[in-house]
Amino acid sequence: MLPLIAASVVGPFLVSWFATRLVRGWARRTGFVDHPGGHKAHATPVALGGGIGFVAAIVGPVLVGTLLAAAIASDPPDWLPAIVQTHLKGIASKLPTVVALSACALVLHVVGLIDDRRPLRPAPKFIAQFAVAAIIAGPVGIRAVQALPAPLSIAITVLWIVLITNAFNFLDNMDGLSGGVALIAAAIFAIASMRAGQVFVPVFAWVMVGALLGFLTYNFSPASIFMGDAGSLPLGFLMSVLTILTTFYDPALHLSPLGVIVPIVVLAVPLYDVATVVAHRLRAGENPLRGDRRHFSHRLVKRGLTPQGAVLTIYLATAATGLPAIVLPTADWPAALLLLGQCLAVVAMIGILEHTRS
């Protein structure tokens, strides 16, 4: 499995690194840049389009790999690792799902590119998000909580996809923040799905890790390129689908029912940011969808941290809530409840510390 993991990380890393470098040069030459002003913190124009590189590095390898699996599934070559040969037909069967996911991610990518070039009103972006979510939950059949009646499961899935898509869009407010949190979460989901005996899902997750690593070499502070909505929208969408595809509860594998809350535990920090920033805006009587500097990261800077320190703190908070989720599905009920309590305690501690007057 280790060679497969290495290939899943290194290949997308190189594609993302080179593609982002090329896009950065193109963006600077053509004036596709984010200008300072308003609630933005950067003092000079920064290249946009960073999402082009890592979206290509995620969608491309996964789509090509699945196509190759479908092409050789009936007569696999002897040099393929045994674990790949065993699951080759299963991976090949994912081709319709991968094509649909790729198409939906590219739709959001294009909507994001349009928004980055000329800001759109919230309505068109939400229409696109609900449309792709409905396709995934409906015809494609990727659904959360499938034990529920289909209409309810579809509704929950659509709302979850739109929520997580916007959570990572909201989180893209400081250099390296959204990409770094997504990288940590994807790595945790990769390990959790490997422990559940899956192959396609961990490979998909490790591909995301590699692609985001390549992008973060240019996006971590001081960023020379931003992902923009062209990156944050498909990133949040793919992350939401990854949480649904990962097996967290299966009695045959001795996985606890509490495993279904793993996505909430791993993504506790992005969800906390969405909840608190919307609450702050509503309390101030402002549009909850309008950008400002009330995000969790901005509040940490106001508490005295540097922007880099705030981002690293959020990385640590994401790891603190997310790492216990790796063992949560296999823990017995007392241990699982303790792990859940730890996650809630971390989030509560963050809330107390950031709202305590100095």
* Half-sphere exposure at residue 178, Cβ-oriented, CA atoms within 13 angstroms: 30
For residue 93, being part of any structural domain is answered with yes
For residue 273, being part of any structural domain is answered with no
pLDDT computed for residue 232 by the predictor? 96
**β-pair partners for 46:** 34
pLDDT computed for residue 295 by the predictor? 81
pLDDT computed for residue 198 by the predictor? 82
pLDDT computed for residue 74 by the predictor? 81
pLDDT computed for residue 27 by the predictor? 95
d(CA 230, CA 232): 6
Q: Based on the structure, what is the number of domains in the chain?
A: 1
**One digit per residue, pLDDT tens: the chain, 358 residues?**
777 788 899 999 999 999 999 999 999 999 999 887 555 566 688 999 999 999 999 999 999 999 988 888 888 887 777 767 777 888 888 899 999 999 999 999 999 999 999 989 989 999 999 999 999 999 999 998 777 899 999 999 999 999 999 999 999 989 999 999 999 999 999 998 888 778 888 999 999 999 999 999 999 989 999 999 999 999 999 999 999 988 666 656 556 566 677 888 899 999 988 888 888 788 877 777 776 677 888 888 888 889 999 999 999 999 998 888 888 777 777 887 888 888 888 888 887 777 665 5
Helix (H) or strand (E) holding 47: strand 46-47
pTM: 0.91
Is the omega angle on the peptide bond into residue 234 within 30 degrees of 0, that is, cis? no
Residue span of the structural domain in which 206 resides: 2-250
For residue 354, being part of any structural domain is answered with no
Cα separation of the two ends of the chain: 50
For residue 115, being part of any structural domain is answered with yes
pLDDT computed for residue 38 by the predictor? 57
d(CA 283, CA 234): 30
